[in-house]
């Protein structure tokens, strides 16, 4: 199979995801990581659309990348305006990008209903724009927007748009499933037909509205596409874009396509997590290859088989993508789960060891009260260290108080006051927050920041509350799960109590202590 080039559009298409807004420095930070992992093309944005993207191209042009070429994105010239006089095209010339990606209309429906121009003028827009940029010395890619819908509606005209781009010296044509509604068999059939008529390189750009963007991208490669567009973690508008993380892993491991090196492949999990952190998005535990649950085993039968041969329940060695095997501790896993977790912490326990039974009994007792450690591995590691008397406290709580006040303006404020000791020093601090837990988190960090500066590198990324016995009403026990992140890892902690503040405090303290423990190691 021919070489496949990776084209990342996280900084443009990915930024259109709900909840994501990148600063210029965010975009530069992500671009640096994409370059390290060997992405061939990084689409930085649309310099003609906003000042932020123009600033990005100016700054990234001064940074020497080792593996990646920077691409600038824009549309074809406007109807009845020469490319040399179009403001969007002028912005491209100033961008200092090595590659220009032009998106154009391939669907006659869009030409007449959106552009409000003629089919012939649309062909001229494609041809003039690409030819003008190619003559200026740029590598020009053409994104055939809504290509598959267009091909289905009017095959003859759609092919004319591709031929216009090819004749105008586009180096590659990317076929876009912009609405994300086509199935894999349809994608494969159409690309094979197009491949026989178009001589330049073909690329694929899939959206995930039908849930098959990854499969469609891989099938397109088999059918003849040699450039794959996508975003890290599948970020993008509506249901997102094709996720480059599993695409890269499948290309490299399953399909034998040497798109990046083995060493770079091991950095996939870092790239995924780093991009999530910068994007301020929750890490997806269930994400294939790099998710925290991707190689997690809970059932006793599964765990027993994994110990004998990992291939029994794992499709690859997790270390290939920088991930790791996790044995989830629960009443279903028995002593085997305890032993494997202990081994991961470099504790030498055996099935007959009294300590093993002690930990298992403790786990079963806590699970009876509502704890679930398969969802809170960090809390379990702390529990094991405490049970084995290996844990040294980082601080001691003396007291905390949370005050919630609703003023005459109907605004609700929360304030937490904390008293604790750190290395014999007494700290008494107060902080406000958006809610009681946020206030507690802020107060705890404030008390500890001078002693443990690395706490500034972590934040809570998810907070879940579940009522365990609804029939008990307001006296019901609640389970709180907190997910935390720093620049390297994600971890989960748990607390259970009749009082939601206390349950949250338990999970919060575990989260902070786990961070301090792993930084110390």
Residue 473 has pLDDT above 60, yes or no: no
pLDDT digits (tens, 9 = 90+) for 222-250: 999 999 999 999 999 999 999 999 999 99
Dist CA 75 CA 410 (whole Å): 48
Question: In the numeric block, which tokens belong to residue 461?
Answer: 């990324």
Q: How large a percentage of the chain has pLDDT more than 90?
A: 66
**What are the Cα distances from residue 389, in Å, to 357, 377, 383, 386, 392?**
15, 18, 10, 5, 8
CB neighbourhood size of 368 (10 A): 9
- What average pLDDT score do residues 305-310 get? 79
Q: Are 265 and 320 in contact (CB under 8 A)?
A: yes
Q: Are 42 and 244 in contact (CB under 8 A)?
A: no
Q: Is 55 strand, coil or helix?
A: helix
The pLDDT value recorded for residue 344 is 66
Category of 280 on φ-ψ map: left (φ > 0), alpha (ψ -120 to 50) or beta: left
DSSP state of 78: P
Nearest CA to 206 out of 281, 21, 114, 227 is that of: 227
CB burial string 412-423: b at 16+ within 10 A, e below: eebbbbbebebe
Dist CA 95 CA 469 (whole Å): 60
Q: Are 12 and 44 in contact (CB under 8 A)?
A: yes
Q: Beta strands of 468-519 (E only): which ranges?
A: 478-485, 490-497
| Alpha-carbon dihedral angle through residues 112, 116, 118, 123, given to the nearest 10 degrees | -90
Q: pTM for the whole thing?
A: 0.72
Residue 189 has pLDDT above 80, yes or no: yes
Asked if the 5-260 domain carries CATH number 3.40.50.300, the reply is no
Residue 443 has pLDDT above 90, yes or no: yes
Alpha helices in 376-499 (DSSP H): 377-387, 436-448
Q: Per-domain residue ranges for the chain?
A: 5-260, 296-382, 405-451
Question: In the numeric block, which tokens belong to residue 62?
Answer: 């001064």
Under the banding of pLDDT at 50, 70 and 90, the label for residue 364 is: confident
CB neighbourhood size of 365 (10 A): 10
């Amino acid at each position: 199979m021919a070489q496949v080039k990776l084209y990342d559009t996280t900084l443009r298409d990915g930024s259109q995801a709900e909840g994501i807004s990148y600063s210029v420095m965010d975009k530069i930070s992500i671009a640096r990581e994409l370059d390290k992992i060997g992405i061939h093309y990084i689409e930085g944005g649309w310099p003609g659309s906003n000042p932020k993207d123009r600033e990005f191209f100016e700054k990234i042009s001064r940074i020497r990348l080792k593996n990646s070429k920077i691409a600038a994105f824009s549309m074809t010239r406007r109807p009845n305006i020469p490319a040399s006089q179009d403001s969007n095209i002028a912005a491209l010339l100033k961008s200092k990008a090595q590659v220009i990606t032009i998106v154009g209309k391939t669907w006659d429906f869009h030409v007449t209903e959106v552009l409000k121009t003629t089919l012939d003028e649309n062909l001229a827009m494609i041809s003039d724009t690409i030819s003008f940029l190619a003559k200026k010395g740029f590598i020009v890619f053409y994104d055939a927007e809504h290509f598959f819908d267009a091909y289905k509606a009017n095959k003859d005209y759609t092919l004319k748009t591709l031929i216009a781009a090819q004749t105008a010296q586009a180096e590659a044509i990317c076929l876009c499933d912009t609405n994300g509604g086509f199935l894999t068999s349809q994608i494969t059939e159409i690309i094979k037909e197009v491949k026989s008529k178009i001589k330049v390189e073909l690329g694929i750009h899939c959206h995930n509205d039908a849930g098959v963007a990854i499969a469609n991208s891989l099938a397109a490669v088999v059918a003849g596409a040699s450039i794959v567009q996508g975003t890290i973690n599948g970020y993008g508008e509506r249901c997102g874009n094709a996720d480059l993380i599993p695409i890269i892993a499948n290309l490299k491991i399953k399909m034998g396509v040497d798109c990046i090196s083995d060493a770079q492949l091991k950095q996939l999990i870092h790239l995924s997590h780093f991009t999530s952190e910068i994007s301020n998005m929750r890490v997806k535990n269930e994400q294939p290859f790099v998710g925290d649950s991707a190689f997690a085993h809970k059932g006793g039968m599964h765990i027993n088989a994994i110990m004998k041969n990992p291939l029994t329940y794992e499709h690859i060695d997790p270390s290939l993508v920088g991930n790791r095997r996790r044995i989830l501790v629960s009443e279903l896993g028995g002593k085997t789960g305890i032993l494997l977790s202990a081994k991961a912490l470099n504790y030498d326990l055996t099935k007959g060891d009294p300590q093993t039974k002690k930990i298992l009994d403790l786990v079963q007792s806590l699970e009876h009260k509502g704890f679930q450690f398969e969802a809170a591995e960090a809390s379990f590691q702390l529990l094991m260290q405490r049970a084995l008397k290996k844990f040294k406290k980082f601080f001691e709580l003396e007291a905390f108080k949370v005050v919630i006040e609703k003023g005459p303006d109907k605004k609700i404020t929360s304030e937490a006051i904390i008293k604790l000791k750190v290395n014999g020093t007494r700290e008494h601090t107060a902080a406000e927050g958006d809610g009681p837990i946020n206030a507690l988190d802020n107060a705890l960090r404030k008390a500890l920041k001078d002693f443990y500066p690395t706490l500034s590198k972590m934040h809570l990324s998810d907070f879940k509350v579940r009522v365990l016995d609804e029939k008990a009403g307001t006296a019901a026990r609640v389970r709180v799960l907190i997910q935390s992140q720093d620049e390297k890892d994600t971890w989960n902690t748990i607390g259970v109590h009749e009082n939601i503040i206390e349950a949250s405090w338990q999970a919060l303290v575990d989260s902070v202590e786990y961070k301090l423990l792993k930084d110390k190691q």
